[in-house]
Amino acid sequence: MIDPTARCPEWLIDRIINSGGSISFYKYMDLVLNDPENGFYSTGRLNIGKDGDFCTSPSLGNDFARLLAIQVVDWFLDLEKSGIESELFSLVEVGPGEGTLSRDLAIAIAEIAPALISKIEFVLVELNVGMRKRQEKVVNNFKGIYCRWCDLEDLISRPVTGVVIANEALDAFPVERLIFTGNKVFRQGVALRKINDEYFLEFVDLKPTSVIMKFLQESNSLLNIEFPPKDICDRWVTEWHCDLPTWFGKLSKVLSNGSLLVVDYAMESKRYYNANRKDGTLISYRNQKANTNILKDPGLSDLTAHLCIESTISYALINGWKFMGETRQGQALLALGLSSFLFSLQNTSSQDLSAALNRRESLLRLVDPMGLGEFRWLAFQKENSYDLILSNRFLEEPIS
């Protein structure tokens, strides 16, 4: 049945017709987010923040960056102490969105470790021109940051030492969707249906590629669970973050020494590849509203898919990384001292009350187990023969 809200815009009609009448869901997600002229990110049409399409942790104020900076400084100091030779350390942010996290990290690092900040360059890895323009305004306006934009290929030709952060970036990577019906598996595709001279989008079943079949064959050993799980319903749908192996592989060539922190929507494979999760994890966002109709408003809304924790870790391990540990964002931020930030608000004077209440609300949102607090922090260290021990304060028991 056609969904009347899944109207297809002109530009996408052309793309689908030129591709023979249907495209894979992977291609669809890539086009609606990253198509240079029409994608939600590439046009820079979307806005991140309370008044925008969706909120991320850095968009709620600078407390997220101030807490994360404590961990980042620890890692830089560990690198410095280890005697690793590097003229300049790099803080690489992948998928920087509005650029606020890098800016606020720079300010916080300068406060916590003034001697360190002049030894750090900020490197922003942004796929989409529209977002990059927005980041330039935010980051370049802040004096004292040495910042450059690069893609992973440029960085591979001149590797860096330091810290890589990907906050809510990997959930925007296009995914393959897989449909299980009878004893068969299909690759989900998107096609056009013309009704009364108007084009609508609909899902179709496509033949799975050899790469998808290989993933399915390897998944038992990779995820250590039966895949697909027992007792799934007919047309059970799930996702596969097929770009992650290549991404981890490239990133391991970017970083000579140091750490990588991935923060994102993520869940264990048992919850992810579960018979009860019959429609996968994909969701669309526009004007702060989540929508499970992922064919609605192509190019005008965000699409996001959760990560599977075990497969993300496995892909990192086989592509040059050591796993240091993972925890929920709520725990991580409490371990880094969020409760002391909350406590300090008690001393607010009456004229600052409104700002203090806003800040309190943002701090609580960062650790809310029904919201951002449920995000996962996954930390990795570049695999090499160097005897470097990185301390992970965010994994410690929260201080009360």
Ligand X SMILES: C[S@@+](CC[C@H](N)C(=O)[O-])C[C@H]1O[C@@H](n2cnc3c(N)ncnc32)[C@H](O)[C@@H]1O
Identity of the residue, 7 or 253, whose beta carbon is nearer to ligand X in the bound complex? 253
Smallest gap from Cβ 341 to ligand X, in A, equals: 19
298 binds ligand X (CB under 6 A): no
Smallest gap from Cβ 104 to ligand X, in A, equals: 10
Identity of the residue, 131 or 367, whose beta carbon is nearer to ligand X in the bound complex? 131
Site string for ligand X, 23-62 (x = CB under 6 A): ------------------x------x-------x-xx---
102 binds ligand X (CB under 6 A): no
Smallest gap from Cβ 124 to ligand X, in A, equals: 9
Identity of the residue, 171 or 326, whose beta carbon is nearer to ligand X in the bound complex? 171
DSSP 207-236: PPPHHHHHHHHHHHHHHSS-SSPTTPPTTE
95 binds ligand X (CB under 6 A): yes
Q: How many residues bind ligand X (CB under 6 A)?
A: 21
Alpha-carbon distance values, 54 to 49, 126, 161, 175 (Å): 6, 19, 32, 20
Identity of the residue, 168 or 310, whose beta carbon is nearer to ligand X in the bound complex? 168
- Asked if residue 54 lies in contact with residue 172, where contact means CB atoms within 8 angstroms, the answer is no
Stretch that binds ligand X, among 153-161, 166-174, 215-223, 315-323 (CB under 6 A): 166-174
Smallest gap from Cβ 112 to ligand X, in A, equals: 20
Looking at residue 399, what DSSP letter applies? P
**179-204 burial code (b ≥16 CB/10 A, e <16):** bbeeeebbbbbbbbeeeeeebbbbbb
374: closest CA among 326, 325, 317?
A: 326
* Cα–Cα distance, 84 to 186 (Å, whole number): 49
Smallest gap from Cβ 55 to ligand X, in A, equals: 8
* Cα–Cα distance, 91 to 145 (Å, whole number): 11
DSSP 289-305: EEES-TTSSTTTSEEE-
Binding site for ligand X (CB under 6 A): 41, 48, 56, 58-59, 94-98, 101, 125-128, 131, 167-169, 172-173
